[in-house]
Every structure is written in C-alpha cells, then in structure tokens.
Amino acid sequence: MNMTQKLTILFDLDGTLVDTAPDLMDAHNHVMKKFGFQQSKLEDIKRLAGRGAWIMMQRSFREKITDEKIKKEMIKEFIDYYSKNIDRGSKPVKGVIDFLKWAKSNNIAMSVCTNKQERLAVDLLKKIKLANYFDYIAGSDTFEFNKPDPRHLTDVVEITGGNLSKTIMVGDSEVDSISASNAKIPFVLVEDGYTEKKINEIPHDIVIKDFSNFETIIKKYL
C-alpha cells in the first residue's frame, strides 16, 4: 500500500450527514393528503426514510396499491413537492460542518453515496452549502446499481482516484452496513439514524452519536 495515499471517506446522506426527515415528512404527508391516505409522524418517516419514497408511502396504506398508474402519480407528486421544498427544515447533523472543514484541510477525500436521486442529493447539498466539500456525489440513479451493491461504493473510490484499503464508509442504516461489508471496508454507524433496526442489529466497526470530535477517530486511520 502506498503510504502517501490519502484517506477516502464515503458518506450516506439522509440521517447521516443531514437530518432530512422534516422535509421528507412534509412531502410524504402532502401526497398522502392529496390522494386521501393517512399521514405519518416524524418517527415513522425516520424509520423508513432510508428505503425510498414508495416504501415510506406503502406503510401508510391500509391495503396495498397495485395500480401502477396511481403509484407513478404518487411518486411523481412526492418528487415534485420534495424537490421544491428540499431544504426548508433539513439541517446538517451536529458536528458535520466542523468535521468536513477539518477533513478538507487534512487532504481527506470525501464523497457521498446515497440512494436518493442524484439531482436531489446534489441540489440539497448545494442549498445547505455542503456540496463543495465532496469530490463526488453518487445517487440512486448515477450508476446501473445502488447500495447495498458494493459497486456503488467501489466505483466512487475508483472514479476519485482513491484506494479501497484506505477507505471508510459512514452511514446510519443496515443498507450502509451491508454495502461497506460487501465492499470490505470499515463501517462507522451513526446512532439514531433512519432505520427500524437497533444499533446491535447493524454490524459496525465504530459507532458515533454525531460528528462532534469525529476527527479523533479518523486520525487513527490517517
């Protein structure tokens, strides 16, 4: 391994870098109201946010919706509303901005690997002024595959000229954990993320509450 090779950190987005649940809930409830279904609470959204808009919606239906036309309309309505209101209540997780500044000044390469659509991820990160910290932002539609397929992570490392043996994944859900495990890289789990699973049910190497003092952990990998 080349000792001069810099460290790469890959981040999940929703529930890891940014608390997006308030805006996801608004978009979700807007669609539910419009189509005559029951609305959800913030806790429900947090549990399901990492799994995509449709799964989030399905949990609010009393009976399964099989009509593809209605399904498409609802997803379109969700994306339209969400993209217009993407940063109303979304805020970086505690300590994120300070950590990103520190990492950038220490020549650490950083990219985002999210199952959110690429244009939404880029737009959100631009609006909350975090986009410039990242070398690459890969969304659900950037490649032919997404998490937990390890190529979602490994391709980003390759594109940005990193080295897998000097790469760490940071995320908040089992999907992130499986992705990291499939890519054979260490996984840092952010507590209280967007998942239905408990901490001990998600395999991880390190667990953090937020990004306060995260640099002390990362220094060990430099």
The tens digit of pLDDT for each residue in 82-140 reads 999 999 999 999 999 999 999 999 999 999 999 999 999 999 999 999 999 999 999 99
Active-site residue, from 12, 14, 155, 172: 12
Angle 205-211-213 from CA coordinates, rounded to 5°: 90
Query: If you average pLDDT over residues 183-201, what whole number do you get?
Result: 95
d(CA 18, CA 13): 6
Catalytic residue status for 12: yes
User: CATH says 8-19+90-221 is which class?
Assistant: alpha beta
142 closest CA partner among 161, 117, 111, 178: 117
Render pLDDT for 46-92 as a digit per residue (tens, 0 to 9).
988 877 788 888 877 767 778 889 989 999 999 999 999 999 999 99
115 closest CA partner among 157, 184, 163, 172: 172
179 closest CA partner among 212, 209, 211, 157: 157
> What pLDDT score does 48 carry?
83
> What pLDDT score does 2 carry?
45
| pTM score over 0.75 | yes
